[in-house]
């Protein structure tokens, strides 16, 4: 079940849709808004968007799953992203990602059982001077080595 | 600012702002008088994503606090500016008029900068850039090897103006080109000027911009569109983002000029949602331009109206392809469509549409102000002007560089980039991102332009330039790029969807030591088939990293296939850990080994059982005397 699906969020989303100058072509914009509100895009939210925009749910699902920015699974409290852009990759970000997988005992894209961390990778945050780069929510860590993984995780320990 | 009603009124206002940036321009007289003195100063702090990630916000905040605490508020201004480009040495603080360029500044340095430099006029030596070979400290930006060979046109205002203040853009001749175009020139005049300038699309395609505009103008319609392609998906490339963050108005102005030329009244910027800072700077810029009447109805009191909206991408590399991008703006899956019809004929909402890349647009106001002849005098016979490259990877000076077309790779990598990190040997440079190829040392002296890069099996692409050293395995690199394209393939056409997946599987097999001679042959023939038969640019170029590495690094493929070794020591399955006779028999490695494959008595040489070894490297980390080597 969706944990963030308060009726309040649905009202905000409905108002957002109603205020759009045109509903034609607005699907991606609406999904950005919805993910901002709910944190992810569960089935209920996709069905809601489809109904309000008067398009089939299958189309909404097709768009949601096409774009990597949208997620249909809830994310952890802290989202750790290891940059796998080329600049970071050639400076060893693959090893850093492996170390996070080992330490958190999850695979890339998964969330820890306690819901605290989601591990992911992204393509280039554009801070190539700091490669390899790891982001935890909005915080950016630069020049990360395998040895520093423990220290980064410790910053977010319970 | 109030709404500006005519071009003449605008020119008067611009005259008033002329002095705004005076202090920041090189002025030797002012520079001399500032030495050892307290005087009026301007501090530019880099506010690009790279420097912000390294706390440049805090530096600005601390500087402002210290400036206020020392009673300097009336004489000193500190503000953000766009990316200086020298990201390796960020965060950067530039002090004017002294013309001092501080590198690697920390928030805790703010107090010293204010007390020593601003109050006493003393330059802080330890914050200056040190030339690595001569160990000489360099004070001025223009004296650094990193900047010496650069010619900044698209990046002209990055590191100079405050991107959140339209007045500063106007002071640098901003919106003059737009005024000139819509009050003095016909559509054909401006298209001719663009064709004469020789400007070609900087997003990768290299299609002449003037011709693109001419096509879009040719078709009659009640509505036409200008799209700015800011979906910079090439991993390791960040020039478009830096331009949008550092000089957003140049892109807005150029879009309006393009709109006038083809007869469009609506512009749309399609930008990655992953670029929050660029989005916020664009929003501020659009708001300011509307307020001044530089966007909106009847610009400069003429019949020409133009406005711009922002559309977010959602993380799909293929959306950099113009037809896929248009699908995405329409709220669909970003799948490319067949050409023809070209967007110029039937694009967004089936109307004539012209799609231009950020960097292409950023050049346009400068070309109009300085003339087609000036622009075409820079560059090579077929490629005019400059190109911005994002220099990254195993290189000393990571950063954004803008050089004239025709500059050699050697100049970029060794003169500007300062050579390879940690004194290692140069192996290859990858240009053009996932669509490009690897270039070897023998081509370092090739003057780069669109044609010369294609001729050696790579491409200009959007300008990513990743340098690799001898520790990078080329099969691993080819695999990396292919993983990317397989993940990003939209799945519409089978050569790209299925073919690239098969290429990746074969590479994976080779990297694990299971490759055969036939695989090498299959990689080549399948790669060429994918290139010939894919629907869009993504598929047509996806095999390039594989084909170019086979061409130039065949010996590495052969080593993996026949000798079952990885010469660079990267492919884990082909590595062997061995204990050398340096071993003191301390047993630490044996105790750390998770699969108990190390045997040996105390104080005697230990041995690794290669059949059981899982190549985790735990023994090597544990060894106190570095007796364990991997090969």
- B330 closest CB neighbour out of A25, A31, A130: A25
DSSP B397-423: S-EEEEEETT-BHHIIIIIIS-SBGGG
Measured CA to CA, the distance from residue B604 to residue B596 in angstroms comes to: 17
Q: Is the pLDDT score of B114 beyond 60?
A: yes
Parallel, antiparallel, or unpaired for β B426-431 and A117-122? unpaired
Per-residue pLDDT, averaged over B165-173, amounts to: 96
ipTM over 0.95: no
Per-residue pLDDT, averaged over B248-262, amounts to: 98
DSSP A40-79: S--HHHHHHHHHHHTS-HHHHHHHHHHSTT--SS---SEE
Among chain B residues, CA nearest to A53: B331
Measured CA to CA, the distance from residue A33 to residue B327 in angstroms comes to: 19
Measured CA to CA, the distance from residue B105 to residue B129 in angstroms comes to: 11
Residue B432 class from Cβ within 10 Å (0-12 exposed, 13-18 middle, 19+ buried)?
Answer: buried
Parallel, antiparallel, or unpaired for β B225-230 and B266-271? parallel
- Give the model's confidence band at B576: pLDDT under 50 very low, under 70 low, under 90 confident, else very high: confident
- B273 closest CB neighbour out of A32, A66, A123: A32
How many residues are present in chain B?
Answer: 631
Per-residue pLDDT, averaged over B579-607, amounts to: 91
Measured CA to CA, the distance from residue A102 to residue B14 in angstroms comes to: 59
- A126 closest CB neighbour out of B241, B273, B481: B241
- Give the model's confidence band at B86: pLDDT under 50 very low, under 70 low, under 90 confident, else very high: very high
Amino acid A2: pLDDT: 62
Query: Is residue B383 within 8 Å of residue B275, measured between CB atoms?
Result: no
Q: What is the pTM of this model?
A: 0.92
Which of A29, A54, A84, A86 is best to mutate for the B interface (most B CBs within 10 A)? A86
- Give the model's confidence band at B273: pLDDT under 50 very low, under 70 low, under 90 confident, else very high: confident
Tens digit of each residue's pLDDT (9 = 90 or more) over B203-226: 888 999 999 999 999 999 999 999
Per-residue pLDDT, averaged over B595-608, amounts to: 92
Query: Is residue B560 within 8 Å of residue B519, measured between CB atoms?
Result: no
DSSP lists the bridge partners of residue A83 as A122
Amino acid B195: pLDDT: 97
Per-residue pLDDT, averaged over B363-371, amounts to: 98
Taking CB atoms and an 8 Å cutoff, what residues of chain B touch A62? Answer: 333
Amino acid A151: pLDDT: 93
DSSP B502-544: HHHHHHHHHHTT---HHHHHHHHHHHHHHHHH-SSHHHHHTTH
Contact criterion met (CB < 8 Å) for B315 and A90 = no
In eight-state DSSP terms, residue B498 is I
Among chain B residues, CA nearest to A131: B393
Query: Is residue B460 within 8 Å of residue B558, measured between CB atoms?
Result: no
Measured CA to CA, the distance from residue B175 to residue B14 in angstroms comes to: 10
For all residues of chain B together, what is the average pLDDT?
94
- B50 closest CB neighbour out of A26, A66, A130: A130
Indicate if the alpha-carbon torsion angle B311, B315, B321, B327 is positive or negative: negative
Per-residue pLDDT, averaged over B26-46, amounts to: 90
Taking CB atoms and an 8 Å cutoff, what residues of chain B touch A93? Answer: none
Amino acid A3: pLDDT: 60
Amino acid B618: pLDDT: 85
Per-residue pLDDT, averaged over B438-467, amounts to: 92
- Give the model's confidence band at B443: pLDDT under 50 very low, under 70 low, under 90 confident, else very high: very high
Q: Tell me if chain A has a CB within 8 Å of the CB of B309.
A: no
**Intervals of chain A under pLDDT 70:** 1-5
Per-residue pLDDT, averaged over B410-434, amounts to: 92
> Chain B 490-549, CB below 8 Å of chain A: which residues?
490
| Residue with token string 């061995």 | B578
Amino acid B381: pLDDT: 95
Q: Is the pLDDT score of B346 beyond 60?
A: yes
- A128 closest CB neighbour out of B236, B329, B349: B236
Tens digit of each residue's pLDDT (9 = 90 or more) over B488-497: 999 999 999 9
Taking CB atoms and an 8 Å cutoff, what residues of chain B touch A85? Answer: 235-236
Q: Is the pLDDT score of B427 beyond 80?
A: yes
- Give the model's confidence band at B35: pLDDT under 50 very low, under 70 low, under 90 confident, else very high: confident
Q: Is the pLDDT score of B315 beyond 90?
A: no
Taking CB atoms and an 8 Å cutoff, what residues of chain B touch A144? Answer: none
DSSP B239-285: HHHHHHHH-HHHHHHHHHHHHHHHT--EEEEEE-TT-HHHHHHHHHH
Q: Tell me if chain A has a CB within 8 Å of the CB of B315.
A: yes
Among chain B residues, CA nearest to A23: B331
Contact criterion met (CB < 8 Å) for B54 and A142 = yes
Contact criterion met (CB < 8 Å) for B390 and A128 = yes
Tens digit of each residue's pLDDT (9 = 90 or more) over B431-440: 988 888 899 9
- A90 closest CB neighbour out of B315, B349, B472: B472
Taking CB atoms and an 8 Å cutoff, what residues of chain B touch A130? Answer: 50, 53-54, 87
Q: Is the pLDDT score of B177 beyond 90?
A: yes
Beta carbons within 10 angstroms of residue B361's beta carbon: 27
Measured CA to CA, the distance from residue B324 to residue B231 in angstroms comes to: 11
Amino acid A4: pLDDT: 64
Query: Is residue B235 within 8 Å of residue A86, measured between CB atoms?
Result: yes
């Amino acid at each position: 079940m969706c944990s963030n699906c308060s009726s309040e969020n649905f009202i905000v989303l409905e108002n957002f849709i109603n205020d759009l100058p045109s509903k034609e072509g607005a699907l991606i914009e609406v999904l950005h808004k919805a993910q901002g509100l709910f944190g992810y895009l569960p089935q209920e939210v996709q069905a809601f968007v489809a109904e309000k925009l008067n398009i089939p749910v299958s189309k909404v699902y097709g768009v949601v799953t096409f774009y990597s920015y949208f997620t249909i699974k809830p994310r952890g409290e802290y989202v750790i992203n290891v940059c796998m852009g080329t600049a970071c990759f050639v400076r060893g970000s693959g090893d850093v990602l492996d170390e996070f997988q080992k330490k958190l005992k999850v695979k890339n894209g998964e969330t820890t059982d306690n819901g605290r961390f989601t591990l992911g990778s992204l393509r280039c945050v554009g801070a190539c001077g700091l490669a390899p780069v790891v982001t935890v929510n909005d915080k950016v860590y630069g020049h990360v080595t395998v040895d520093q993984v423990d220290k980064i995780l410790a910053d977010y320990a319970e | 600012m109030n709404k500006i009603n005519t071009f003449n009124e605008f020119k008067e206002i611009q005259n008033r702002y002329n002095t705004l940036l005076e202090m920041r321009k090189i002025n030797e007289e002012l520079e001399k008088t500032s030495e050892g003195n307290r005087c009026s100063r301007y501090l530019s702090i880099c506010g690009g994503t790279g420097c912000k990630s390294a706390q440049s916000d805090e530096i600005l905040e601390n500087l402002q606090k210290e400036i206020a605490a020392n009673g300097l508020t009336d004489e000193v201004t500190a503000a953000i500016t766009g990316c200086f480009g020298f990201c390796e040495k960020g965060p950067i603080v530039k002090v004017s008029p002294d013309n001092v360029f501080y590198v690697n500044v920390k928030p805790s340095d703010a107090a010293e900068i204010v007390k020593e430099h601003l109050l006493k006029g003393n330059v802080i030596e330890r914050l200056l850039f040190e030339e690595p070979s001569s160990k000489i400290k360099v004070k001025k930006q223009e004296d650094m090897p990193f900047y010496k060979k650069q010619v900044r046109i698209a990046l002209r205002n990055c590191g100079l103006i405050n991107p959140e203040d339209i007045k500063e853009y106007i002071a640098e001749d901003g919106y003059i080109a737009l005024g000139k175009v819509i009050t003095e020139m016909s559509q054909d005049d401006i298209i001719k000027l663009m064709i004469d300038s020789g400007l070609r699309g900087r997003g990768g395609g290299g299609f002449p911009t003037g011709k693109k505009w001419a096509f879009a103008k040719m078709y009659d319609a009640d509505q036409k569109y200008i799209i700015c392609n800011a979906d910079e998906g090439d991993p390791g490339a960040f020039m478009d983002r830096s331009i949008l963050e550092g000089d957003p108005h140049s892109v807005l102005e150029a879009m309006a000029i393009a709109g006038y030329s083809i007869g469009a009244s609506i512009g749309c910027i399609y930008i990655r949602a992953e670029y929050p800072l660029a989005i916020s700077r664009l929003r501020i810029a659009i708001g300011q331009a509307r307020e001044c009447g530089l966007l909106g109805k009847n610009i400069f009191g003429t019949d020409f109206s133009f406005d711009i909206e922002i559309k977010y991408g959602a993380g799909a590399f293929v959306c950099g392809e113009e037809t896929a991008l248009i699908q995405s703006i329409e709220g669909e899956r970003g799948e490319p469509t067949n050409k023809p019809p070209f967007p110029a004929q039937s694009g967004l909402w089936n109307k004539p549409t012209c799609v231009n890349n950020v960097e292409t647009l950023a050049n346009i106001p400068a070309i109009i102000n300085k003339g087609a002849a000036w622009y075409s005098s820079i560059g090579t016979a077929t490629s005019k002007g400059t190109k911005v490259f994002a220099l990254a990877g195993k290189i000393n000076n990571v950063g954004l560089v803008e050089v004239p077309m025709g500059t050699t790779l050697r100049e970029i990598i060794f003169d500007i980039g300062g050579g390879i990190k940690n004194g290692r040997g140069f192996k290859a440079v990858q240009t053009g991102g996932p669509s490009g190829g690897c270039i070897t040392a023998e081509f370092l002296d090739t003057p780069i332009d669109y044609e010369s890069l294609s001729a050696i099996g790579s491409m200009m692409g959007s300008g990513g330039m990743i340098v690799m050293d001898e520790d990078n395995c080329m099969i691993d690199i080819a695999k990396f790029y292919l993983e990317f394209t397989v993940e990003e393939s939209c799945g519409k056409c089978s050569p790209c969807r299925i073919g690239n997946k098969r290429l990746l599987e074969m590479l994976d097999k080779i990297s694990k030591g299971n490759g055969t001679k036939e695989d090498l042959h299959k990689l080549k023939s399948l790669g060429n088939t994918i290139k010939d038969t894919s629907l869009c640019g993504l598929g047509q170029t996806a095999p390039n990293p594989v084909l170019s590495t086979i061409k130039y690094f065949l010996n590495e493929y052969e080593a993996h296939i026949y000798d079952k070794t990885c010469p660079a020591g990267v492919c884990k399955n082909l590595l062997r850990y061995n204990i050398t006779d340096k071993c003191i028999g301390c047993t630490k490695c044996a105790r750390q080994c998770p699969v108990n494959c190390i045997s040996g008595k105390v104080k005697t040489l230990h041995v690794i059982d290669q059949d059981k070894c899982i190549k985790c490297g735990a023994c090597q980390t544990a060894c106190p005397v570095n007796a364990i080597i991997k090969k």
